Structure 1
Amino acid sequence: MTVLRPDVTEPDSARGGAAAWRAPDGPHGADDAPARPAPAETSGLVQLHESIATLLASRGQWRQAYQHLRSALDLVYADHDEQPQIPEQLRREVARLRREHAEAREQSMRDSLTASYNRRYLDQRLVSLVAQQCGSPDGLAVALVDLDWFKQVNDTYGHLVGDRVLQRVVELLQDGLPEGAFCARYGGEEFVLVLPGIDAPAAVAVSEAARARVEHYPWGQIVPGLRVTVSVGLAHEPGTSDASGPPVGAEQQLLRADDLLYAAKQSGRNAVAYREGGRVRLAGAAAGRRAISGQRAASY
């Protein structure tokens, strides 16, 4: 039996599973039907495929792992005219690999500190949502959220408290999001709320509600004197059936949200800035302030 070394992913003798095994040519030549492997040889090959599957799964090579389990099943079935039931051990092994695959994929999309989605997932999902807008009446909103004066939180209370603040802010941002919406960490103390299938007034209402939840949370329970607010730049794109041109790309929509975030900061922070009728406006409690449309907010 081939010995699996750490530097060998798939031994040549095991790559094809049962189909790759062939007995030496008999006295009547190569056209003779190959003899079946002896039971001991079959058992050894099954164990080898299972070992290779486990090794590949530990490396995240899930498709190849499934192929080796399939080869192990083919060897088990080789001596049966009718396909028997899958052995319970292999059934459990397949279920375990699928579970570990799903868990590993989910972890690869999550931010390790806040458990929100990470930048990689955001980039991929936002591109997909923009593509889905083609020919669709549904709008798409992107809200860029930044914690106000977060450096002062770290400097005053320490980074451990700062980490707890980030974790709680994510919980508050995600609370009450509509179906299909999600929160992702954009970087540092910036987060993005992606709101698909939504019109502009509803997107403003969702963003303002999230801002208010952060403002009114009892932060003093974490440490006395702590206060946390966020500023939000909300960019909304209508469905393509309502738009005069092609849908705005994912990167461009994030840039528009960033410009509006700048407007919210310049207008006094703790506000949601959005565009309506070509003008920058502030939502909710900040609506009475003067919305400052700086150069960045007017750049498109």
Structure 2
Amino acid sequence: MGAAVRAARRRSVRPRLAPWLFIAPWLLGFAVFTAWPVLYSGYLSLTDYDVVNDPNFVGFDNYVRMFEDPKVGLALWNTFVYTVVQVPLYVLVSLALALLLNRAGRGAGWFRTAFLLPKMTPPVAVGVLVLLLLNGQQGALNEFLGWFGIDGPNWTTDSAWVKPGLILMSLWTVGSSVLILLAALRAVPEELYDAAVIDGASGWYRTTRITVPMISPALFFVVVVNTIGAFQTFTEAYTAYFGAGNSTYGNDAALFYVIYLFQQGFEFFHMGYASAMAWLLFLVVAVITAVQLVVSRRLVHYEGDR
């Protein structure tokens, strides 16, 4: 009797154990390559660590130092301005292209591929393109503007135009967001549009009162993901303005937060200070994402909502 009970228990445990065995490789990788580094960086943020010598515990000195460092404030401000302008523009361009693509006929597949291909371009190459296309004297963009009699600005050297230039270049990679929004558009029931047309609704009314509310979950996802990405902007700006000891184009207008964090950690070997900066960035992004989640309760409409 006892053996039968034990066998029955083993059989009941196996179905519960199987899912954990399947996800065990992911759990192990997450623990080793994500959770542990994050926790260890929290410890390093409380130390003076130069990578070579052992960490020296200094408490919250690194956090106090951040509030006294003017470049931290400058980098945060540059990143905030970039995000506030880039994210809405990125989402609007993505939505416009998705709406156009939704009306495409036989060429829709080709356009989907064409929009997504730039996303495959290495970010370092995009950083080089910034200098080639936006050069104030011989850049392709200024030459194009010259055809219309417009004297283009010095995109790469004028502090007032550095961030606008980087924002324009960021639109190069809207392809993935276009496809996400296109999938959401394809899921909107045609009956809603038919009923609106019968009622005499204009195209603008159908777009703002049917299309946008119906795809609002996808729009919200694109906004959140691109907001987090904008706060982590690094490769393109670093390659164009700070890479390979580039002091010619080095410009404080392009000093984004992650660039300054990278400089502190891997150029000046202030790894403890860089870890504290990383935790500050995590806190800022978490707060902004939380605010977006709260706002979304009024603006985002899910299918199950009544």
TM-score of the superposed pair, with normalisation by structure 1:
0.21
Larger radius of gyration: 1
Structure (1 or 2) with the greater strand fraction: 1
TM-score of the superposed pair, with normalisation by structure 2:
0.21
